[in-house]
Every structure is written in C-alpha cells, then in structure tokens.
Structure 1
Amino acid sequence: ILVVLGDRYEIFSAVSAAMIANIPIVHLHGGETTEGAFDESIRHSITKMSHLHFTATDEYRDRVIQLGEHPNRVFNVGGLGIDNIKKLELLTKEEFEESINFKLNKKNILITFHPVTLENATAQEQFQTLLDVVNELEETNIIFTKANSDTDGRIINSMIDEYVSQYKDKSVVFTSLGQLRYLSALQYVDAVVGNSSSGLIEAPSFNIGTINVGDRQKGRIMADSVISCSGDRVSVNKGFEKLYSEKFQTKLKQVENPYGGGGASKKIKTLLKEISLLNILKKQFYDLNKEIK
C-alpha cells in the first residue's frame, strides 16, 4: 500500500502513479478545505484516487463521504501533528535559544507565510503589509520560517531575507526549523502568525494564539485561539490588538484543540492491521441519497 498525507502537488504525482499501478492508496487528512489555495483541488482529487481514508475530525470524515467514499472506508482518527507534540521531548527555553543562536524577547512571534495561490491580492502585497505591522510591535522578536515552493514563494523568501538583514537584533530566519525546534518554539512564542496550517492544527495544543492572515486556510476548522483577518493593514493591526488583550489571553487558557489530543498514528496502525485489502481497489460511488447496493 501507499500511505500519503495532505494535499501537495508532489503527493498528487505519486498517487496518480500508484493508482495506475493498482497499488492501494491510504490518504491522511482528507476532507479538509482551503479555499484560498489550489491545494483544495489536489486534496479532493487524491481522495477520489484513494481507497482508505483517515481524517482529522468528524466534519472532515463527513466531507470525504460526501465525495462518494463509503463510510466503511473512512475513519476519524484526529490530527497527526498532535502525536509529535505528545511524543517528542521538547527543548527547554535555554536549549531552544542555543539551537537557533537567538535570544527571545519579552514578546515573541513565529511567522510562516505561504503564497496565496487563489487570491486576488498578491503574496508580495499581503506579506509586505504583515511586515509593516510587525515591525511596529514593541519589545517583540520574530522567528521566520520560509515559504513553500508554490508560485511566488521565492518572492516571500527574498523579502524575509531582506527584512532580517535590516533587523538582525530582533529577527531570525530558517528555511525550516524541523519538528523538534518548531514545536519547541511554540512553547515560547505568543502566537503563530501567517497562513500555515500549523497555526490551526498544532498551535492550539500549546494554548497560544494564531493570527491567520488571508483566505489560504479558509474553510478549515479553527479553535477559539485563532484570530482570522484579511490581508489589509487595519485588519492585521486589529488581530494583534486582540491577541494581546487581557480578555483573549484569559480565553487562551481554556482553549481545546478541535483536532484531538493525540493517538492518531496508533489508531491508523491498528486499523490498517485489521482491514482486509482483498478487492479494495474496486470502489462503488456512495450516494448520500440512496442505499448502496
């Protein structure tokens, strides 16, 4: 079998090849929506080529079934990203600072901003607005992780490099922090800022805020810790004002992650051992309005 996660075009190529080669495909994190990115179409296409589905919430499970997949082949196991939080021994503050060769400040934010592939505003416009806003924050250090390989990703990365070269005293950039350093960072920052899915899936488990900019993640289930704003300056400013408000900071302490509390990988392993792959390649479209025959 081929097990794949998510909605990237690199995965789409592998899944297409596996389907033609009659290799059973297991899809993780299907049924989600991201209206502002072309990942939306890729994700649902992978769902239709797959034979078993493990989703992150019941709502996403329902959506996979709505796409015609039989309920007996669709399982809600929770978000896989939560497993890493539970299993990894995260770095202490001192260890983390040493690992990135950068001292944290009174306030700290982690920014990950990917191209907005289906929005009218360009990635450059939205990201410049974000940079202008965060540059005015006082006593705040910024950790950047670079954009993915989507269209305009290079433009964003160039803007990050230029900003960090100008403000070395309060900012640092990494192509990728890796799992351990990234999740460790979430212990010590006030918020994940930008449009990465990690701000929706992993960040709530740390009871920190997320400022979700633009429509890239529009349609995904969001915890109460997520502040969504459009890409304009006024909206982003209001997002930071809300983040540091006493009311919101109090609210963060009670936030529950809608993607569960971990254990997804173990559930998937158990189910894959139990499910027979005999004749699994043949699928009948499951019509919501009729009983399957």
Structure 2
Amino acid sequence: MRSFSRGEESLGAIDNIYRHQITLASHIHFTSSELYCKRVIELIGSSQGVYNVGSIALDKINKSSLISENDFRTKYNIPEKEFILITIHPETKNIDSNEVFAEEIYKAAFELIKGFHLVITMPNSDTKGSIFRNMWKKLKSEFPTDVSLIENFGSENYYAAMQYAKLLLGNSSSGIIEAATFNKYVVNIGDRQKGRARSLNTIDVDFDYKDILFKVKEIIPKGEFKGNNEYFQENSIQKVINIIKDYDGF
C-alpha cells in the first residue's frame, strides 16, 4: 500500500487519526515536506520506504495553464475590482465554538466589503458547516453586488481564483499548501491547519475579527509574496513514478 501526504497534521480537524492509521498500514510513504518526512520516520520507527517528494498537487499546477483573468471574471460574474478569496470550513475538533467563529468572520467580512469584492467558496459538509453556509447567504443578501458565492470552482478554476485574488483568507489547506506558488499571502484563521508546515506567506490569527482585519491591512501593502513554497519540488509526480517502479520492499 502506498500513502501520499503522510506526516501531515491538522489539529483543528479530526483527520489526524485516520491519516496516521493509513501511514501505519502503508509500505511506501510520500511526504510533501521535510518536516512531514521526519514525522513519518518517527511514527513508523524507520526511514525505509519514506520519500520526501514535495506536493504532487503543486507539480500539477506547475504544468497547467489557467484561463485569463477576464475570462475568469466573466465566467463567475466577478466585477473589475480587487477581490479577496475566502474559504472557511468548520473546525471539527472544537465544534461548539463554530457559531462564535462564524460571528467573528461575518464581522470581518462586513468591514472588508468596504474595500474589496469578496469571492467566497461555500463550506464543505463537515459538522456545523451549515452555520457558515447560512452566514454567507445572509451576507450575500445584504451585499448582493459585493459578494460572489461559489459552490464549487473545481480545481482549475480555484487555482485561477488564487492567481487573481489580492490575498487568501480562511482556514483551508489550499492557503497552506498552494497559495505560495501563486505568490499570495494568506491570513490563516484558527486551529484547523495547526500542525502543518508553513511557508513564509502564511500569517496565523485567531477567530477574532479585529485581529483578522489588522492582519489583512498589514498584508495589503506587501503586494505579492516573493518567497519559496515549503511544499514545492520539481517533478514530484515523476519522482513518485520512478520510486514505485524501482521499489523492491514488498
């Protein structure tokens, strides 16, 4: 059995226990950063079959061509105004606090609308996701021309959204893993992604609307992020193929 993205942690979600169980059951482990490589080695007690190859998602992005900004905006009816891309999922280990978290996000979004269009991807089906879904619908009803609610971009169009956004805001793994490849800063909120390796484009804040607004205002003058992506390696997919072809540990 082969496992990808091993050694990762997301302490605000319940994924960890399943992720580690898969790691323990696998023979080959592909990790997306040096930090995760060390975690897998510690977890299984051996370096045999553990390979740090970088993120295969980034390899795919590197080989993709995105639609133009004009076509993207036309497709999703996004006006010619700088926009912030927002992706918020519920925290599944601290579920009782999600209503409070939603209130803080709403207050922050209410203020951000004064300077930006908001492109918001709707939350997943995790427990309490409906709290955030209903909150975004309320915001849209109050500011119909300033908010775009997107049920599902699909990967290619989501990458385009990251490319053309001013910055990313939320608690999605896409902010942690992919955003640096698009030279974007990320305001990462809460604990959902706690434990993951960070590139220097990631700024962590609590679910506090004043802190969120402060960090956004701090980031805006920086423009594009010019640093490296912690998760990127050249030709990750080909590395995986070569390792599997040559592996003799079964």
TM range (shorter): over 0.9
Question: 1:96 aligns to what SS in structure 2?
Answer: helix
Equivalent position to 1:266, from 238, 243, 249: 238
Indicate the residue corresponding to 1:124 in structure 2. Answer: 99
Q: CA deviation at 1:273?
A: 1.1
* Alpha carbons 2:102, 2:131 under 8 Å: kept: no
Number of corresponding residues? 249
**Per-residue Cα deviation, 1:113-135 (whole angstroms, up to 9, x for no partner):** 11111237622221221121122
Identity %: 31
Tell me, which stretches of 5 or more residues in structure 2 are unaligned? Answer: none
Q: d(CA) in 2 for partners of 1:233 and 1:121? A: 18
| SS of structure 1 residue aligned to 2:99 | helix
- Provide the rounded CA distance (Å) in 1 between the counterparts of 2:109 and 2:219: 13
The equivalent position to 2:129 in structure 1, one of 153, 167, 180, is: 153
1:180-191 alignment runs, 5 A limit: 180-191=156-167
Distance 1:166 1:91 in 2: 30
Q: How does 1:1-293 map to 2 (within 5 A)?
A: 25-105=1-81, 107-119=82-94, 122-137=97-112, 138-244=114-220, 246=221, 248-249=222-223, 252-276=224-248, 280=250
> After superposition, what is the alpha-carbon deviation per residue over 1:188-241, rounded to whole angstroms, capped at 9, x for unaligned?
111111100000110011111101000111111111111100011222122212
Residue 285 of structure 1: aligned partner: none
The alpha-carbon distance between structure 1 residues 273 and 219, as it changes in their structure 2 partners (threshold 3 A), is same
CA distance in 2, matches of 1:168, 1:262: 42
Structure 2 counterpart of 1:116, one-letter code: E
Take 1:260 and 1:238, find their aligned partners in 2: how far apart are those partners?
29
Give TM-score, length-normalised by structure 2: 0.94
Alpha-carbon deviation of 1:64? 0.4
1:139-192: CA deviation from partner (whole Å, max 9, x where unpaired): 301111111221111222222222223212011112210111110111111111
TM-score, normalised via structure 1 length: 0.80
